[in-house]
Amino acid sequence: MQLESVTVRRMTLPMLTPFTTSFGTQTHRDLLIVEAHSGGVTGYGECVALAEPLYSEETTSTCALVIQDYILPRLQGLEISHPREVSAALSPLKRNNMAKAAVEGAIWELWAKRENQSLAQSFGGTKDAVEVGLSIGIKPTDADLIDTVGAAVDAGYKRIKIKIAPGRDLQMMRAVRAEFPDAVLMADANSAYTMADLELFQALDELDLLMVEQPLAHDDIVDHRHLQAAIRTPVCLDESIHSAEDARQAIELGSCRIINIKIGRVGGIAESLKIEQLCRQHGIDVWCGGMLETGIGRAHNVAIASLEGFTLPGDTAPSARYWAEDIIEPEVTMDDGVVAVPTAPGLGFSVKQQLLEDLTVSSFSTDWR
Ligand code: OSB
Ligand code: MG
């Protein structure tokens, strides 16, 4: 297969609920959708970078530039017999993982559709449904948070993740635990702490959290090793893991017991598969992280979470949690805390192409003919 053309669309979607983490509040999602075309078939991918470099160094704008100037020229005329060849072709380009993953994801979906396979099938996903957790942002008051957690418990989410930040941590988590003694709870710090906060994490051990996600610096695996050795709660790495090589080093050091895989953060599906395999070999639990995706990225996440190695509920909540109207139909929905893994070819959802075009504020296409 050769790509005939690629289109990249930029759009801004208002979020139903503002989402606050230790690095800021999001009210809108500024994102890119990639369309890869070949043989009358279109594959879709989503770029999960945020508008500002607050989670990682990539942004929507840097991704658009890197895709246009560096990624697409390397794919022009390339004979692709399997989508894993895409990340190999892009490997000379350092990092820019979210930009690479957006393009690789579109090509992977295109290939799966042409092979008449679902995305999950195309890489060996075996589950027919995936367990879902909810990620709850920082709320103005403990009462607000407790209301939100209560609604999530009632809705059937299999685990509830709560964002923490200095000043909104131990007391707040104790209040939630007191209210919900049996809930499966975890905390995500988005790298807001240092080893000077060790006592805080030792105190969190009392609360029987499923894990604490990315407590220390976004680029650290050494201090996380010391932290993990000093607490009972499993440490999960998110921001620190960009590749299977990073995962190998973190596992070897003992820096975490759990890894959150985000396809965008690690540079694509091929790299996600390597990490999943490595973690299975080492008994490291894995779950699928989220980046407040539209239905396109969400469908990719549900497919990857269908792999055996994804042993814990992921941040793959239903569309209606985020969007007034999603860009796919049907929307992603949840029943009894699980999302069904589609079996139709590709994403298994249809993209509302007219809505996509209406939402597009800028776009570019390759000029390969
Ligand atoms: O750290 O997992 C994170 C959202 C944006 C950036 C980073 C993170 C998150 C979330 C939300 O936790 C997950 C989701 O619901 O998509
Ligand atoms: Mg996280």
Dump pLDDT digits (tens) for 46-80. Answer: 999 999 999 999 999 999 999 999 999 999 999 99
Q: What is the pLDDT of residue 367?
A: 85
Is the CB of 238 within 6 Å of ligand 1? yes
Residue with CA nearest ligand 1 atom 13: 290
Share of the chain above pLDDT 90, in %: 99
Give the separation between CA 252 and CA 231, rounded to whole angstroms: 18
Q: What is the pLDDT of residue 71?
A: 98
Tell which atom from ligand 1 comes closest to the C-alpha of 214. Answer: 1
Cβ–Cβ < 8 Å for 31, 362: no
Give the separation between CA 261 and CA 240, rounded to whole angstroms: 11
Write the CA distances from 242 to 89, 209, 357, integer angstroms: 18, 25, 32
Beta strands in the chain, from DSSP E residues, in sequence order: 5-21, 24-38, 41-47, 129-131, 133-136, 159-163, 185-188, 212-213, 235-237, 258-261, 285-288, 328-329, 338-340, 350-351, 362-365
Mean pLDDT calculated for residue range 124-141:
97
163 counts as catalytic: yes
Q: How far is the CA of 279 from the centre of ligand 2 (A)?
A: 18
Q: How far is the CA of 99 from the centre of ligand 2 (A)?
A: 19
Q: What is the pLDDT of residue 86?
A: 98
Is the CB of 290 within 6 Å of ligand 1? yes
Average pLDDT, the chain: 98
Residue with CA nearest ligand 1 atom 14: 290
Considering Cα of 188, then 192, then 198, then 199, what sign does the dihedral take?
negative
Q: pLDDT tens-digit profile of 252-272?
A: 999 999 999 999 999 999 999
Q: What is the pLDDT of residue 66?
A: 98
Q: What is the pLDDT of residue 305?
A: 98
Mean pLDDT calculated for residue range 241-245:
98
Beta strands in 272-325, from DSSP E residues, in sequence order: 285-288
Is the CB of 291 within 6 Å of ligand 1? yes
**Number of the ligand closest to the Cα of 264:** 1
Is the CB of 288 within 6 Å of ligand 1? no
Q: How far is the CA of 316 from the centre of ligand 1 (A)?
A: 10
262 counts as catalytic: yes
Hunting for tokens 């249809």 — which residue is that? 350
Is the CB of 55 within 6 Å of ligand 1? yes
Mean pLDDT calculated for residue range 192-206:
98
Backbone angles phi, psi at 38, to 5 degrees: -160, 135
**Number of the ligand closest to the Cα of 16:** 1
Residue with CA nearest ligand 1 atom 7: 291
Is the CB of 197 within 6 Å of ligand 1? no
Tell which atom from ligand 1 comes closest to the C-alpha of 134. Answer: 15
Q: How far is the CA of 130 from the centre of ligand 1 (A)?
A: 18
Hunting for tokens 């923490």 — which residue is that? 164
Q: pLDDT tens-digit profile of 88-112?
A: 999 999 999 999 999 999 999 999 9
Q: What is the pLDDT of residue 369?
A: 76
Give the pLDDT band (50/70/90) at residue 247.
very high
Mean pLDDT calculated for residue range 6-26:
96
Is the CB of 135 within 6 Å of ligand 1? yes
